């Protein structure tokens, strides 16, 4: 047989003739369910059926380091709604092969030598007996929901029947991954071996001991573990499950709803019908827009970031051992934690030892929570805290390979600490600013070597936010960008690389979102309508709540600094309606934000926050007309337009940086795939037309220039 993605062989063993299907996709580091694999699977299944009478068993194995990687996601990206019927047929074709192999009456053993995720896990489940290498790095699971899909290659049907509706829920609905030990505990794996060399001998032994084998659900008298949907306990939970799910997804993510439906519906029918139900839901998702958006970003774009596509090429990899942090406030303390938790010696400097020690106490607080929960030992806590040296003495920074300033957003203060600390750098060291808005090229004027000066913009809270924005100044060299990239990856975070401009990418685009919300309030639209429309669109919180958290006073400080910078250049800065409203809130109404006692919201002691009642009197106009879709479009399109402008101006140099930056940095809805994918999902022309409509009604913030349209077309991903 001429097969390109797998091998088929029959060997005479002590148990008799045993066939082995070895997955080995040519010219690929992993096995995937590509079209060729599907054709090969059909061919080899037909051959097994022909050889059935002479066989005593069947082994499924892999020639790759991983067992099986799963679906061919590039193929999914090419699907359209018109392909639903053919995609359904394709899914059923694969599952027919699975079902044929597992119901031949032959014992089937799966040898899991490496990770098996998604379609790989489902392929492994064909085996009646599943043996895995006992390696903590080996990952198993069904992560399809994270990509807008469901485990539709028998994953839902089999996990539900193996574990029961309630016990299967974390693995299906929450995409919980697990290692070999947990797999053994829950029955997804039946046996562990110390090394891959032991897999085949154990498989042959099991075949010899079990000449007859079948899955539990194919045995007479099988009952669903935990009960069916009709069981009182499960029925009670299912009554509220859809409402709870809708509250979480806001109706923007069809995959979780499809997964829940496939689980419950499948639990009420026979195996083959359940499998077909699962296939229909999967085909619908595979040809819908949300899965493509999420696959594009959470698979292809994330892999682009992790593989260093935005990192300057030709620069050797580097690793810093000692890093200084200037400023022990919330941001500096968070950076110190991020470094120390990854084994990096950290010098945390502030104006006084007391302040520096207070910053270190933040790491003590975070580690204590882990110790209390049994996730960290007291010795590990001591070691981590021992890596943070609080100080008020600049001399203690001596020998740092990187120093990051995280002081207040004031150009003079940043210049002062830069000049004080830079001489302490080790030979070849580099300096970074954690500024969120001030142009790096301007800040680099205080540096003794602008080539070694860069922006490394963390997001608050640092211990939870994955994104880090690396900003290249006009004189920053490639080596410094590459070293900053390596440093961010070493922290376990996601780096995007942008070129210098006011606000860079994330702060600039984030500003358009919150100020559009403030502008709508100024137009008379009720604050509650704006906030709820934003959340229903899939944004984490509304723009007014975000402004409160980040501090209205900070936005006003940035506005004042921007006006001063423009004035220094002999220009006048024209503030937007949103900026003027926020300025009024702070300067006239004394509402600086949450930290200052209140902003758009009140924060009563021991009670939930609530919108400031005076907003109705001050801003709402009872007769003003509003439309929820229009509000949502204004909030999303305004950010997408700014993203397009950043691409056109070369602030952003790649679509993957735009998508990852917008989702992980500023909370752009994940169902869209990010601000750039939001454009491509609609089509550049349709997006441009809608922008023109919004610009006509709501101003030039929505105006999409020809160069931005041309850039969007040029950078559109092809699959």
Q: What is the C-alpha separation between 614 and 584, in angstroms, rounded?
A: 14
Please name the residue that has the structure tokens 């926050």. 609
- Choosing from 144, 401, 405, 422, the catalytic residue is 144
Active site annotation includes 122: yes
- H or E segment and range at residue 629: helix 628-648
Strands of 521-633 (E only): list them: 601-602, 610-611
- Choosing from 90, 92, 102, 122, the catalytic residue is 122
Q: What is the C-alpha separation between 142 and 173, in angstroms, rounded?
A: 9
Q: Are 527 and 521 in contact (CB under 8 A)?
A: yes
Q: What is the C-alpha separation between 99 and 303, in angstroms, rounded?
A: 33
Question: At residue 80, what are phi and psi to the nearest 5 degrees?
Answer: -125, 170
> Among residues 540, 452, 542, 465, which one has the least CA distance to residue 496?
465
Q: What is the C-alpha separation between 374 and 661, in angstroms, rounded?
A: 33
> Among residues 547, 467, 563, which one has the least CA distance to residue 511?
547
Q: What is the C-alpha separation between 513 and 616, in angstroms, rounded?
A: 22
- H or E segment and range at residue 74: helix 73-77
By three-state DSSP, how is residue 128 classified?
A: coil
Q: What is the C-alpha separation between 436 and 508, in angstroms, rounded?
A: 9
Q: What is the C-alpha separation between 547 and 654, in angstroms, rounded?
A: 28
Q: Are 579 and 559 in contact (CB under 8 A)?
A: yes
Q: Are 48 and 59 in contact (CB under 8 A)?
A: no
Q: Are 469 and 661 in contact (CB under 8 A)?
A: yes
> Among residues 88, 69, 93, 91, which one has the least CA distance to residue 143?
69
Structure tokens given for 3: 């097969």
Q: Dihedral (C-alpha) 35, 37, 42, 44: value to the nearest 10 degrees?
A: 160
The catalytic site residues sit at 122, 144
């Amino acid at each position: 047989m001429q097969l390109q993605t797998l091998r088929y062989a029959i060997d005479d063993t002590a148990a008799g003739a045993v066939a082995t299907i070895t997955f080995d996709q040519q010219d690929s580091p992993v096995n995937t369910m590509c079209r060729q694999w599907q054709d090969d699977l059909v061919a080899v299944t037909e051959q097994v059926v022909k050889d059935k009478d002479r066989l005593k068993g069947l082994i499924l194995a892999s020639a790759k380091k991983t067992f099986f990687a799963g679906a061919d996601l590039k193929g999914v990206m090419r699907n359209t709604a018109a392909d639903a019927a053919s995609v359904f047929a394709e899914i059923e074709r694969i599952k027919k092969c699975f079902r044929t192999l597992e119901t031949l009456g032959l014992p089937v053993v799966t040898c899991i030598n490496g990770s098996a995720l998604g379609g790989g896990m489902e392929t492994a489940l064909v085996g009646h007996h599943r043996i895995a290498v006992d390696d903590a790095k080996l990952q198993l699971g069904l992560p399809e929901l994270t990509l807008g899909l469901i485990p539709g290659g028998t994953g839902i049907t089999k996990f539900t029947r193996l574990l029961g509706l309630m016990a299967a829920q974390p693995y299906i609905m929450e995409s919980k991954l697990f290692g070999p030990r947990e797999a053994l505990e829950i029955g997804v794996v039946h046996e562990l071996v110390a090394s891959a060399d032991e897999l085949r001998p154990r498989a042959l032994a099991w075949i010899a001991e079990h000449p007859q084998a079948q899955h539990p659900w194919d045995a007479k008298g099988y009952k669903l573990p935990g009960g069916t949907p009709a069981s009182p306990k499960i029925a009670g939970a299912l009554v509220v499950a859809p409402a709870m799910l809708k509250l979480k997804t806001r109706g923007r993510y069809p995959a979780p709803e499809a997964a829940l439906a496939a689980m419950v519906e499948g639990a009420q029918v026979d195996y083959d019908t359940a499998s077909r139900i699962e296939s229909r839901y999967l085909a619908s998702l595979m040809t819908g827009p949300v899965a493509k958006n999420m696959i594009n970003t959470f698979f292809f774009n994330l892999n682009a970031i992790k593989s260093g596509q935005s990192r300057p090429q030709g620069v050797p990899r580097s690793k810093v051992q000692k890093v200084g942090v200037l400023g022990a406030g919330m941001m500096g303390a968070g950076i110190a934690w991020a470094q120390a938790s990854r084994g990096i010696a950290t010098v945390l400097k502030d104006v006084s030892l007391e302040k520096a020690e207070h910053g270190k106490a933040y790491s003590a607080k975070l580690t204590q929570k882990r110790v209390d929960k049994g996730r960290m030992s007291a010795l590990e806590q001591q070691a981590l805290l021992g890596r943070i040296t609080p100080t008020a003495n600049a001399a203690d920074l001596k020998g740092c390979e990187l120093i990051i300033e995280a002081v207040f957003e004031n150009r003079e203060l940043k210049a002062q600490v830069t000049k004080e600390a830079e001489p302490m750098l080790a030979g070849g060291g580099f300096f970074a600013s954690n500024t969120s808005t001030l142009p790096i090229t301007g800040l680099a004027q205080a540096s003794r070597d602008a080539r070694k000066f860069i922006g490394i913009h963390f997001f608050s809270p640092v211990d939870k936010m994955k994104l880090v924005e690396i900003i290249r100044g006009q004189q920053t060299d490639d080596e410094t960008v590459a070293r900053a990239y390596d440093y961010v990856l070493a922290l376990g975070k996601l780096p995007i690389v942008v070129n210098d401009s006011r606000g860079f990418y994330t702060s600039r685009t984030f500003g358009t979102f919150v100020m559009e919300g403030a502008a709508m309030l100024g137009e008379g639209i009720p604050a509650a309508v704006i906030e709820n429309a934003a959340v229903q669109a899939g944004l984490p919180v509304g723009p007014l709540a975000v402004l409160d958290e980040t501090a209205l006073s900070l936005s006003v400080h940035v506005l004042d600094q921007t006006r001063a910078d423009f004035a220094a250049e002999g220009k006048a800065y024209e503030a937007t309606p949103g900026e003027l409203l926020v300025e009024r809130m702070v300067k006239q109404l004394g509402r600086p934000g949450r930290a200052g006692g209140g902003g758009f919201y009140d924060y009563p002691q021991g009670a939930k926050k609530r919108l400031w009642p005076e907003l109705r009197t001050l801003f709402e106009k009872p007769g003003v007309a509003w439309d929820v879709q229009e509000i949502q479009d204004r909030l999303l399109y305004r950010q997408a337009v700014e993203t397009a402008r950043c691409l056109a101006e070369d602030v952003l140099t790649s679509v993957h940086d735009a998508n990852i930056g917008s989702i992980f940095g500023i909370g752009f809805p994940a169902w869209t795939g990010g601000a750039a994918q939001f454009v491509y999902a609609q089509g550049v022309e349709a997006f441009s037309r809608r922008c023109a409509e919004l610009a006509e009604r709501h101003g030039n913030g929505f105006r999409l220039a020809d160069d931005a349209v041309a850039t969007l077309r040029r950078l559109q991903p092809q699959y």
